Amino acid sequence: MASLKTLTTTPEILDHIFQYLPKPDILRTALTCKTLLPTSLNSLWKTLKPSRDNRYPRPDLKAERIFYDIMTKYWPRSPGIQYTKKIDIGHCLNWNSPAAHTLLELLEDGKLRPSIIELELYGSGAEKLLQRFKKYSESRSLVDFSIRLHATAPFAKLVDLHKVTYLELCYNPPSFGPGFEFQLRSKSLVNTAIVGCAEILRQTPNLTDFKWENGNATMGDDVIELNTIFDKLKILQDVFESFKRLRVLTISGYFFHPSFFLVPPRNVKKLVVTGTLSSTWWRKLAACPLVGLETLELYICDASGSLYADIFPFLADELPTESLRLEDVAVVSLKNFVCDRNRKPLDMYQSFVRRNPMIDLCTKRWALNEKAVKILQEGLELVLRELRKCKIAAINTYIKRFKEGHPPPDEKEFMADFSKLVITNIAGNLPEQLSRLEIRGMNIGDRCREQLQEYLEESINETAGAYAQFEEGKLGITEKKFMEDCIKKLADRVKESEDYVFKAERFVAIPIERFIKRMRLLQHGIIRNMLLKKMEAGDELRMGTVLDIWLQAVNDFEKYDEPEIYATGYNISMSESKDVFMSDPLFCLVNRFFTPPSLVIFSNSVIVSSQAQSPFLK
């Protein structure tokens, strides 16, 4: 264990330890030993960030007044303020609040010298405050200073777009009353937005990171057909093709149309897409080479599905994504692939793994999982397809057993016998007469004739045997009497046969239902995991082998506990993706100063950043 002296001489160790302690405990530690005070203050004051409950005030709210009191009464006099490296104010400031002006005064007076500032300013007068932040930023070295501002001021007046390297654009269509013409609103709005986006991007040729953010908004664009905006989208596509330095492209939310696929520039290394997209979009993705792309992340809802039928009526005839089979993909350079597994085309993972040898291990496992699921579904369909034939065979078997006086078997014995019957049937080894029973269109009269002829022969023989010792005409024996007795015995035999059939049918019904239920319960947990292990070991899986494993598990069902049965296979975590533009009411700017050296400014929802060697603010 390290001594106190060692800890005080190596503050890096203490700082690492303090990361795992709550603030009150760090303060108590500082009060116990004077030599620990500097490191404790550094941990306590390194980042100034209001609590979650106080991050969304409006002007004159109590939370903002409390924040202002803390800032004015405690910050200037605290010995820990010298250790502050980052201020994360978030939504805690309004442009006309005393707290915003006090923060600027502390910065301008040099009492507070953070390396990073993050805050958001809203209101028509925010531009004045932004000018003060701009002036302050010019007094600091871009090597050791970064500021991120969210504001509702026109960023083109404050930022040299040519030097911007990081940009976020957020499309916020205005809301109209219920009487507004949807068709007119949609077409004009979307075309204006596309052109505005292209104009902004045309002024940012040095982008290395771009993000489009539209949340879940579809209102205003939902009746637009692709051909009505295709020309404008072509302009936008041409602008993106001109980007030579773009490395990260993120499309979050509705991007003008669910079938519009933005082909990324050749130098993009990471593509993230989140939104409501159609099966046409998936086909375009599969056909695009995506040259040089290393990371692809997809979190997609199906615009072709029934859920969006009213919103996208022009996609009603498209195949739902879950029914689309992705036979092949053109990209060959992927190293990392993440996708929402609940909304994907069939065989998607296998297609990406087959064409991308360097792809990550998780995706390879999901490809095996996808293959196992497909094999199991085919196996279940095969069993269900042959189930009626097997049920008939089982009924015939137990009719015979019951006639011979055998008691019904227990469930385990039945499961074992029925499993063998299923395997035998699928292998094509059932008796010929049983196979004939299942021929569709087979005349039921022919089957009944065979059975009745057998019963009639037995009835005649039995009656003839009983009457053989009597001469004709004695004891009232006549042909009519003989016929009547034969018919009676035939009826008794048919009735007896019906009783055995009913008994056999009633007996097999419940066990067969449990048999299928067990197969389904085992399908996605235990059996899939068994197949995955075999495939990972390089074993070749044939349907006969799969069914042997599966049906053996059905017979051993009792030995599995519930967590095993309901297991879902691999527990693979998926990363999550996270962020118009200034064309008056539609777009806002975010200005942010990146390090090192960089400067960014951003309004309401657009983030811009630059890696220039000098301030890019005009």
Q: Could you say which DSSP state residue 3 is in?
A: -
DSSP-derived 3-state class of residue 174: coil
For residue 177, name the pLDDT band (cuts at 50, 70, 90).
Answer: very low
Contacts of 38 (CB under 8 A, 6+ apart): 11
Q: How does residue 554 score in pLDDT terms, banded at 50, 70 and 90?
A: confident
CB 7 within 8 A of CB 13: yes
Burial (CB count within 10 angstroms: exposed 0-12, middle 13-18, buried 19+), residue 37: middle
Read off the amino acid at residue 368. L
Short-list 278, 143, 280, 179, CA closest to 222:
278
Lowest mean pLDDT among 147-161, 318-332, 372-386: 147-161
Q: Which of 253-267, 296-310, 376-390, 503-517 has the lowest mean pLDDT?
A: 296-310
What is the spatial distance between Cα 539 and Cα 532, in angstroms, rounded to a whole number?
10
Least confident of 338-352, 373-387, 477-491, 597-611: 597-611
pLDDT score, position 261: 92
Domain range annotation of the chain = 173-385, 386-439+476-565
pLDDT tier, 135 (very low <50, low <70, confident <90, very high otherwise): confident
Rounded Cα–Cα distance for residues 280 and 255 (Å):
14
Calpha distance 52→56 (Å, rounded) = 8
193-198 average pLDDT score: 85
- Residue 210: left (phi > 0), alpha (psi -120 to 50), or beta? beta
pLDDT at 422 over 90: no
Reply yes or no on whether the pLDDT at 265 is more than 50: yes
**pLDDT 10s digits, 210-234:** 988 875 544 444 557 778 888 889 9
* Residue whose tokens read 């395997």: 423
C-alpha 415/C-alpha 425 separation (Å) is: 15
Closest CA relative to residue 116, chosen from 548, 607, 449, 600: 600
Distance between start and end Cα atoms, the chain: 56
Amino acid of residue 104: L
Instruction: Flag whether pLDDT at 498 surpasses 70.
Output: no
Q: Rg (Cα) of the chain, in Å, rounded?
A: 38
Give the residue, 514 or 563, on which the prediction is more confident: 514
pLDDT(95) > 60: yes
What pLDDT does 612 receive?
Answer: 33
Decide if pLDDT at 115 tops 70.
Answer: yes
pLDDT mean across residues, the chain: 71
Q: Residue 112: which of 145, 85, 135, 139 has the closest Cα?
A: 85
Task: Look at residue 518 and tell me whether its pLDDT is greater than 70.
Answer: yes
- Is residue 373 within 8 A of residue 347, CB to CB? The reply is no
Predicted confidence band at 346 (pLDDT cuts at 50, 70, 90)?
Answer: confident
Contact 269, 295 (CB under 8 A): yes
**The length of the chain, given as a count of residues:** 618
**Residue with tokens 């005080």, as numbered in its chain:** 8
The answer, yes or no, to whether residue 31 has pLDDT greater than 70, is: yes
- Cα distance between residue 300 and residue 272, in whole Å: 10
Residue 558 CA, chain-centre distance (Å), reads 33
pLDDT band with cut points at 50, 70 and 90 for residue 313: low
Q: From the centroid of its chain, how far is CA 463?
A: 74
The residues facing 336 across adjacent strands are 295
d(CA 322, CA 554) in angstroms, rounded, equals 29
Label each residue of 333-370 as H, E or C: CCCEEEECCCCCCECHHHHHHHHCCCCCHHHHHHHHHH
CA distance 301 to 284: 16
